[in-house]
């Protein structure tokens, strides 16, 4: 580890201080007998000036540098209002770690090309900003979960059954058996509440979904919570408090990263409890009043959700969905057996669903019936059904798609930009 400072640590009041920096060449131009380099590291950028009359050796070396070359430089800090960050370093020592003659990514690269060379695209400060925002959202989630008394658990990824429908399971050979990649940790979290009551996990979830939409990945990061003794209304409160804390804290810690992507912060600032709540019935009425062809009982797709989000300036809930369009584990509404005690949280500005949650069916017989109705075999869910035999309790939970949250917070046009190496039906490499 070298003893260096970060670009973003340099301030005009450090004038005259000697510093060492390490990073990559982001921009380069030559003016007379000086070479100007914008150096980039994980913190940001700073201008470095190599003047021939200060150090001819360093100046000559700097002249040769290509974009994205890795370097260590030493020099003296100087305040300069013309420099991009109000400060520059007048360098007299340079160590070129690796010179790059030609960096494959140029200004006019297409999106597809950027994804083809995603391993190099990660050099980009804009991509770094997205990853920082994602990390900070999770840091905030951890802060909130810790202070609210939730235990982190670590569920398996290799599983034997479907949570969200057999059609989107990734199948694999497990010695002489068949296994699947987990679609959701939910069923395992439900088991964990009997010892820990309030649990959460962050896992990759997999969906063999061929849908090429701007909000589907085949592998995404899933933040899931499950709690004993909570009903649907209790878990919705947890959802809005958690999401609000994640968003407000990230606004506080990562404002400039966020502002690189969106100037208008209104909907983010509006993400404070209570989030608006509308019933599925009301959602259908709104859609019909806007001329959308949808009948009660039909599922809302991305298009319908986008239209619905025009009514809101903050995240909001849609609750009380018809039973037949939702998963088998959701509890039937005792006041209307056509419905389940489920709620989705939708992000505004066209983004739509970021959370799916529900109260769980805690009655053994009802759950068996639902499994059969869905054309599945109760034998395949034996251990899960056991949870309803030995001290069953009312409980609820939800799953938040981290990339979808990031996409809304940064107004990205596709969730793939919110992931390090996106996995979609057509992309498994790099
Ligand atoms: O609504 P989903 O399918 O719900 C579940 O998986 C529940 N078992 C979660 C739970 O209750 N513990 O997925 C939850 C969230 C969605 O709202 C969405 O944000 C995200 O996961 N998600 C996806 N994100 C990206 N690509 C996909 N293909 C996704 N599928 C779901």
Please give the distance, rounded to the nearest whole angstrom, from the Cα atom of residue 345 to the centre of ligand 1: 11
Please give the distance, rounded to the nearest whole angstrom, from the Cα atom of residue 205 to the centre of ligand 1: 8
Pocket test for ligand 1, best of 361, 399, 408, 418 (most atoms within 8 A of CB): 399
Instruction: Using pLDDT thresholds of 50, 70 and 90, give the confidence band for residue 123.
Output: very high
Percentage with pLDDT > 70 across the chain: 100
Kindly report which listed range (48-52, 211-215, 273-277) carries the lowest average pLDDT score.
211-215
Residue 132 has pLDDT above 90, yes or no: yes
Superfamily for the 7-98 domain: Nucleic acid-binding proteins (2.40.50.140)
Please give the distance, rounded to the nearest whole angstrom, from the Cα atom of residue 5 to the centre of ligand 1: 41
Question: Which ligand 1 atom sits closest to the C-alpha of 216?
Answer: 26
Q: How high is the mean pLDDT of the chain?
A: 97
pLDDT in tens, 64-96: 999 999 999 999 999 999 998 999 999 999 999
Residue 356, φ and ψ in degrees, nearest 5: -120, 130
Percentage with pLDDT > 90 across the chain: 97
Tell me, what's the pLDDT at 376? 93
320 near 285, Cβ under 8 Å? no
Q: How many CA atoms lie within 13 A of 33 on its CB side?
A: 7
Question: Which ligand 1 atom sits closest to the C-alpha of 356?
Answer: 1
Pocket test for ligand 1, best of 188, 192, 356 (most atoms within 8 A of CB): 356
Cα separation, 77 vs 368, in Å, equals 71
Q: Is 299 helix (H, G, I), strand (E, B) or coil?
A: coil
Residue 211 has pLDDT above 90, yes or no: no
Angle of helix 402-409 relative to helix 232-253, nearest 10 degrees, comes to 50
118-418 is classed CATH 3.30.470.20:
no
Angle (CA) 213-214-217 rounded to 5° is: 80
Tokens of 319: 């609750």
Question: What are the extents of the domains in the chain?
Answer: 7-98, 118-418
Residue identified by tokens 């009380």 is: 320
Q: Who lines ligand 1 at CB under 6 A?
A: 163-164, 184, 186, 207, 209, 216-217, 220, 222, 224, 353-357, 397-401, 403-404, 415
Q: Which of 278, 262, 273, 279 is nearest to 314 (CA)?
A: 273
Please give the distance, rounded to the nearest whole angstrom, from the Cα atom of residue 18 to the centre of ligand 1: 51
- Burial zone of 249 (CB within 10 Å; 0-12 exposed, 13-18 middle, 19+ buried): middle
Q: Which of 142, 321, 148, 336 is nearest to 230 (CA)?
A: 148
H helix and E strand count, the chain: 13, 18
Tell me, what's the pLDDT at 2? 82
Question: Which ligand 1 atom sits closest to the C-alpha of 402?
Answer: 19
pLDDT in tens, 371-419: 999 999 999 999 999 999 999 999 999 999 999 999 999 999 999 999 9
**CA distances (Å), 423 to each of 105, 212, 263, 293, 301, in order?**
21, 11, 29, 33, 21
The residues near 89 (Cβ < 8 Å, ≥ 6 apart) are 10, 19, 21, 39, 46, 47, 48, 49, 73, 75, 76, 77, 78
Tell me, what's the pLDDT at 358? 98
Please give the distance, rounded to the nearest whole angstrom, from the Cα atom of residue 355 to the centre of ligand 1: 7
384 near 164, Cβ under 8 Å? no
Tell me, what's the pLDDT at 9? 96
Q: What burial letters (b/e) apply to 25-61, b meaning 16+ CB within 10 Å?
A: bbebeeeeebbbbbbbbebbbbbbbbbeebbeebbeb
Residue 348 has pLDDT above 90, yes or no: yes
Q: Which run of H or of E encompasses 345?
A: strand 342-347
Residue 354 has pLDDT above 90, yes or no: yes
Please give the distance, rounded to the nearest whole angstrom, from the Cα atom of residue 368 to the centre of ligand 1: 23
Nearest residue (CA) to ligand 1, atom 20: 401
- Sequence length of the chain is 430
Tell me, what's the pLDDT at 146? 98
pLDDT in tens, 296-319: 999 999 999 999 999 999 999 999
- Helix, strand, coil shares, percent, the chain, to 5: 35, 30, 35
Please give the distance, rounded to the nearest whole angstrom, from the Cα atom of residue 400 to the centre of ligand 1: 6
């Amino acid at each position: 580890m070298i003893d260096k400072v970060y670009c973003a640590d340099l301030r005009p009041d450090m004038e005259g201080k000697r510093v060492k920096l390490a990073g990559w060449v982001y921009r380069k131009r030559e003016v007379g007998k000086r070479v100007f380099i914008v150096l980039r590291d994980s913190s940001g950028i700073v201008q470095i000036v190599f003047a021939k009359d200060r150090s001819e050796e360093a100046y000559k070396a700097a002249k040769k540098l290509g974009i994205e070359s890795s370097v260590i430089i030493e020099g003296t800090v100087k305040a300069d209002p013309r420099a991009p960050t109000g400060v520059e370093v007048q360098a007299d020592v340079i160590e070129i770690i690796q010179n790059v003659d030609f960096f494959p990514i140029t200004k006019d690269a297409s999106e597809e090309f950027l994804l083809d060379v995603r391993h190099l695209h990660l050099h980009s400060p804009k991509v770094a900003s997205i990853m920082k925002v994602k990390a900070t959202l999770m840091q905030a989630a951890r802060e909130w979960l810790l202070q609210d008394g939730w235990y982190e658990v670590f569920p398996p990824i290799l599983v034997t059954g479907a949570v969200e429908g057999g059609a989107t399971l990734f199948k694999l050979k497990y010695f002489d058996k068949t296994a699947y990649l987990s679609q959701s940790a939910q069923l395992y979290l439900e088991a964990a509440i009997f010892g820990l009551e309030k649990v959460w996990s962050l896992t990759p979830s997999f969906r063999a979904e061929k849908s090429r939409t701007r909000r589907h990945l085949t592998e995404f990061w899933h933040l899931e919570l499950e709690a004993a003794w909570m009903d649907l209304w209790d878990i919705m409160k947890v959802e809005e408090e958690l999401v609000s804390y994640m968003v407000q804290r990230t606004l506080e810690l990562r404002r400039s990263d966020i502002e690189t992507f969106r100037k208008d912060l209104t909907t983010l600032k509006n993400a404070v409890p209570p989030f608006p709540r509308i019933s599925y019935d009301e959602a259908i009425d709104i859609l019909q009043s806007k001329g959308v062809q949808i009948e009660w009982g039909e599922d809302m797709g991305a298009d319908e959700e986008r239209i619905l989000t025009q009514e809101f300036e903050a995240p909001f809930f849609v609750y009380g969905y018809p039973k037949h369009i939702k998963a088998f584990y959701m509890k039937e509404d005792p006041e209307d057996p056509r419905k389940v005690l489920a709620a989705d949280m939708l992000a505004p500005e066209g983004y739509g669903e970021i959370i799916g949650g529900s109260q769980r069916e805690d009655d053994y017989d009802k759950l068996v019936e639902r499994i059969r109705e869905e054309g599945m075999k109760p034998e395949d869910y034996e251990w899960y059904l056991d949870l309803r035999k030995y001290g069953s309790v009312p409980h609820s939970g939800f799953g938040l798609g981290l990339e979808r949250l990031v996409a809304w917070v940064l107004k990205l046009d596709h969730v793939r930009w919110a992931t390090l190496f996106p996995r979609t039906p057509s992309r498994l490499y790099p």
